């Protein structure tokens, strides 16, 4: 997609459907305040059949960048297909569109957000044995950054095992990071002798207050359980992990802030401080409870 912008305003937005719930405008406003950048970041609702036209209009009116959320990440991938980062190519999904030199570029920052948050939480990813639960868009987006961070062994398990197998096969065909063993199975195949160092729940199960139906005994000594879903209270998956012996649990609020920080860096060349923003958002979530 190639365009000529009408002007040079520092306009950004998050695009999705629905979009009213998005915390991205608040996160980017806090990053902008930290780094003294004057910008305008709004919520952009696109009709389900009107993603491409809405994006085009936004960039023609001077927009510089878009965060993309449900259900448009794959359409954003198609839109930016001639200018994709490796992360986006492997993920098959784009959450960050950037207008640069008359062209739309696509990247996926979800995986960087997750890896940064796991490190913040003290997880040693170099050589780690990691169980990735889920094989949807979120799981696809984090596979390459987890391998790049040095995980030795990643097993993908999913309610529909065929989807996990397909994701593992796509990964193996990519030829990237051959030092990481990637295997796949169904939820009953989640167990591993000695347990996992890190278990990441990339399913939407916690949104319905359910935990994925996995066997017990998943956790190695000092293991971390991480749910991409976040909320004021521990999720169903976090409860399941604690009962199964996980030493530590965390939800995905830090990932949300981390992916936004990476998008901010792509657009502005500056790294904001995610920890201050995370503290503010956590306090607000608790107050809303």
- Tell me the binding residues for NADP(+): 134-138, 228, 252
- Span near ligand NDP by CB under 6 A; candidates 16-24, 80-88, 198-206, 273-281: 198-206
Candidate residues 16, 106, 137, 195; the one interacting with ligand NDP per rule CB under 6 A:
137
What mask, x for binding ligand NDP by CB under 6 A, covers residues 15 to 44?
A: ------------------------------
SS (H, E, C) the chain: CECCCCCCCCEEEEEECCCCCCCHHHHHHHHHHHHCCCCEEEEEECCCCCHHHHHHHHHHCCEEEEEECCCCHHHHHHHCCCCECHHHHHHCCCCEEEEECCEEEEECCHHHHHHHHHHHCCCCCCCCEEEEECCCHHHHHHHHHHHHCCCCEEEEEECCHHHHHHHHHHHHHHCCCCCCEEEEEEHHHHCCCCCEEEEEECCCHHHHCCCCCCCCCCEEEEEEEEECCCCCCCCHHHHHHHHCCCCEEECCHHHHHHHHHHHHHHHHCCCCCHHHHHHHHHHHHHHHC
Query: Are the C-beta atoms of residues 44 and 52 closer than 8 Å to each other?
Result: no
What mask, x for binding ligand NDP by CB under 6 A, covers residues 54 to 93?
A: ----------------------------------------
Candidate residues 103, 207, 232, 243; the one interacting with ligand NDP per rule CB under 6 A:
207
Residue with the closest Cβ to ligand NDP? Answer: 136
- Span near ligand NDP by CB under 6 A; candidates 25-33, 119-127, 134-142, 177-185: 134-142
β-strand partners of 201? 133, 227
What mask, x for binding ligand NDP by CB under 6 A, covers residues 226 to 265?
A: --xxx---------------------x--xx--x------
Query: Are the C-beta atoms of residues 68 and 96 closer than 8 Å to each other?
Result: yes
Binding-site annotation: residue ranges for shikimate: 22-24, 69, 95, 110, 230, 259
Candidate residues 63, 111, 134, 272; the one interacting with ligand NDP per rule CB under 6 A:
134
Task: List active site positions.
Answer: 73
Q: CB-wise, 79 or 260, nearer to ligand NDP? A: 260
How many whole angstroms separate alpha carbon 259 and alpha carbon 264?
Answer: 9
Q: CB-wise, 103 or 204, nearer to ligand NDP? A: 204
Query: Are the C-beta atoms of residues 67 and 24 closer than 8 Å to each other?
Result: yes
Q: CB-wise, 83 or 140, nearer to ligand NDP? A: 140
Candidate residues 159, 239, 248, 282; the one interacting with ligand NDP per rule CB under 6 A:
159
Residue 210 is a binding residue for ligand NDP (CB under 6 A): yes
Number of residues that bind ligand NDP (CB under 6 A): 27
Residues that bind ligand NDP (CB under 6 A): 110, 113, 134-139, 158-160, 163, 202-205, 207-208, 210, 212, 228-230, 252, 255-256, 259
């Amino acid at each position: 997609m190639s365009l000529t912008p009408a002007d040079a305003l520092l306009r950004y937005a998050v695009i999705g459907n629905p979009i009213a719930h998005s915390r991205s405008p608040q996160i980017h406003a806090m990053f902008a305040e930290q780094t003294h950048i004057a910008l305008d970041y709004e919520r952009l609702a696109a009709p389900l059949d009107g993603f491409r036209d809405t994006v085009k209009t936004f960039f023609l009116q001077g927009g510089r960048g878009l965060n993309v959320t449900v259900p448009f990440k794959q359409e954003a991938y198609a839109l930016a297909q001639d200018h994709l980062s490796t992360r986006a190519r492997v993920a098959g999904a784009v959450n960050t569109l950037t207008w640069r030199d008359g062209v739309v570029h696509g990247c996926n920052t979800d995986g960087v957000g997750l890896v940064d948050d796991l490190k913040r939480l003290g997880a040693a990813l170099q050589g780690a044995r990691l169980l990735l639960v889920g094989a949807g868009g979120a799981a696809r987006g984090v596979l390459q950054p987890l391998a790049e961070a040095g995980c030795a062994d990643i097993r993908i398990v999913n309610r529909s095992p065929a989807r996990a197998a397909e994701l593992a096969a796509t990964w193996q065909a990519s030829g990237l990071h051959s030092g990481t063993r990637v295997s796949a199975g169904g939820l009953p195949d989640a167990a591993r002798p000695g347990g996992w160092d890190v278990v990441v729940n990339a399913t939407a199960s916690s949104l319905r207050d359910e935990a994925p139906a996995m066997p017990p005994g998943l956790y190695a000594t000092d293991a971390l359980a991480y749910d991409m879903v976040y909320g004021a209270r521990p999720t169903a998956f976090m409860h399941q992990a604690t009962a199964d012996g996980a030493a530590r649990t965390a939800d995905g609020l830090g990932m949300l802030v981390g992916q936004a920080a990476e998008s901010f860096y792509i657009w502005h060349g500056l790294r904001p401080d995610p920890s201050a923003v995370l503290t503010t958002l956590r306090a607000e979530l608790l107050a809303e409870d």
